[in-house]
Chains A and B, each alone.
Chain A
């Protein structure tokens, strides 16, 4: 495992409250460039909230987020995008009345991608959107909308990519294919955080997992060790079964 000093993202004692409820309750973890980190935990444990705070949708109520050496908690999303953070959404959020191509064009024009921006033709090809490129995003099925979310994120050339249940709802062939794509992205040095319920998928692609329960990490290490940890088993079996 790479040393913590090399981390591109470091989250310390992060707190996010909704009313009196602590959705994140002192969450700490880090991720290094090129690493695929799994974020797992039962429903409602705060995975999406963590992604929302890291991507600037919510300001933290406590603790610290440091991206690339600079504090990033509470910074507006579009600025974080320009710094190199991007994400997909658990429920994809494309610009429905715009065409697939236009969806990506917005991110290419405004994403502030550093270096050469990715080519739109390649993105469409690689994420299987070429045939629907000139159709409105509203015409896409849910798997395609997820891929569009992903290509919009990639068009901004992120160095940290947050994937919120990207694989949910994909068929086994698509799962294998997207697993390969995610690994290829990490191989370019991109740090990737993957939230997923499918343990097989998590096992296939992650280097390390953080197990979240009630807004706190209760385990950090490989998935193989996690499943032997009594506390982890308790959280999953006591709450909801892992698939």
Chain B
């Protein structure tokens, strides 16, 4: 069987089936929803960081932009929720286009500039002068579209598309070329790769998935403030989950989310007083002993990890 079909059948299909069925047997739907959202975001980080090497410290900017894109469409144009989600994705892509000059930076400079950009977007949206459009710092309430069940399944669909995109990257010359650009941009151009175009495409794709996730999040929670949907925790968690599992793989970010977000909720429920401590130690241990993520335990032994 072709590799891509294997990946679709043995990674994507089970993931979608499990998350489509879980709400029927597990009561904490918000938790399930958050898992799906982080699966999307961690794979979005994977697309831009794993395949091109840009660490998006301000990744939440796209998420928040998507949430507000959704909210504005619903509040002002009474757009149906699914369409508003798409607009949320497009708003994030537009923001991504605006930020393409950042791609000239590299390493920590890119990460910091991206963080600053996400803060700028937050303050722009939360500006009281824009109250008429965004409701400024006072937050939005979208009771008209409130439908957590539909929002949840929309999230599962976007997760499926995002994982599908990563499967494509992992199995196509396009994904290979992206990795070549990450490894050595000069050599990549001598292989005939248009490096600027490749970087922009990966950047906009990762913006799109975060924007769609943000729109769906807005749909699901229906009441939120700028600080909620632009919270730096989204960026940090998505990055940590992706790195913990191992980027530039299909399974790494999935494993990262399932394990780390699982543990996060477990300690949060059972021993909240030690929560920060345990979680902090875990992440430090990861950085020190497994810088290439959990999957490197296998790849070091010469096993191939999809």
Residues on A close to B: CB < 8 A? Answer: 55-57, 76-78, 81-82, 86-87, 89, 93-98, 102-103, 105-107, 109-112, 149, 152-153, 155-156
Q: A96 vs B192: C-alpha distance in the bound complex, in angstroms? A: 18
Q: When the two chains form their complex, are residues A153 and B190 in contact, meaning their CB atoms are under 8 A apart?
A: yes
Which residues 208-252 in B have Cβ within 8 Å of A in the complex? Answer: 248
**Residue B194 at the chain A interface, CB threshold 8 Å:** yes
Q: A78 vs B173: C-alpha distance in the bound complex, in angstroms? A: 16
Residues on B close to A: CB < 8 A? Answer: 173, 176-177, 179-180, 183-184, 186-195, 248
Q: A81 vs B190: C-alpha distance in the bound complex, in angstroms? A: 6
Contacts of B179 in A (CB 8 A): 95, 97-98
Q: When the two chains form their complex, are residues B173 and A106 in contact, meaning their CB atoms are under 8 A apart?
A: yes
Q: A78 vs B191: C-alpha distance in the bound complex, in angstroms? A: 7
Q: When the two chains form their complex, are residues B190 and A106 in contact, meaning their CB atoms are under 8 A apart?
A: no
* B180 touches which of A82, A98, A112, A149 (Cβ 8 Å): A98
Q: A31 vs B184: C-alpha distance in the bound complex, in angstroms? A: 29
Q: A86 vs B186: C-alpha distance in the bound complex, in angstroms? A: 12
In the complex, 26 of the A-B residue pairs with CB atoms within 8 angstroms, ordered by the A residue number, are A56-B189, A76-B194, A77-B186, A78-B190, A81-B191, A89-B186, A93-B187, A95-B179, A95-B187, A96-B183, A96-B184, A97-B179, A97-B248, A98-B176, A98-B180, A98-B183, A106-B188, A106-B193, A107-B190, A107-B192, A109-B176, A109-B177, A110-B173, A110-B191, A112-B192, A155-B191
Contacts of B173 in A (CB 8 A): 105-106, 109-110
Q: A96 vs B182: C-alpha distance in the bound complex, in angstroms? A: 10
Q: Which residue of B lies closest to A137 (CB)?
A: B183
Q: Which residue of B lies closest to A107 (CB)?
A: B191
Q: When the two chains form their complex, are residues A156 and B183 in contact, meaning their CB atoms are under 8 A apart?
A: no
Shortest CB–CB separation between residue B192 and chain A, in angstroms? Answer: 4
Q: A111 vs B189: C-alpha distance in the bound complex, in angstroms? A: 9
Contacts of A111 in B (CB 8 A): 191-192
Q: When the two chains form their complex, are residues A76 and B188 in contact, meaning their CB atoms are under 8 A apart?
A: no
* B176 touches which of A55, A94, A106 (Cβ 8 Å): A106
Q: When the two chains form their complex, are residues B183 and A95 in contact, meaning their CB atoms are under 8 A apart?
A: yes
* B192 touches which of A89, A149, A156 (Cβ 8 Å): A156
Q: A95 vs B52: C-alpha distance in the bound complex, in angstroms? A: 12
Q: When the two chains form their complex, are residues B190 and A86 in contact, meaning their CB atoms are under 8 A apart?
A: yes
Q: Which residue of A lies closest to B196 (CB)?
A: A76
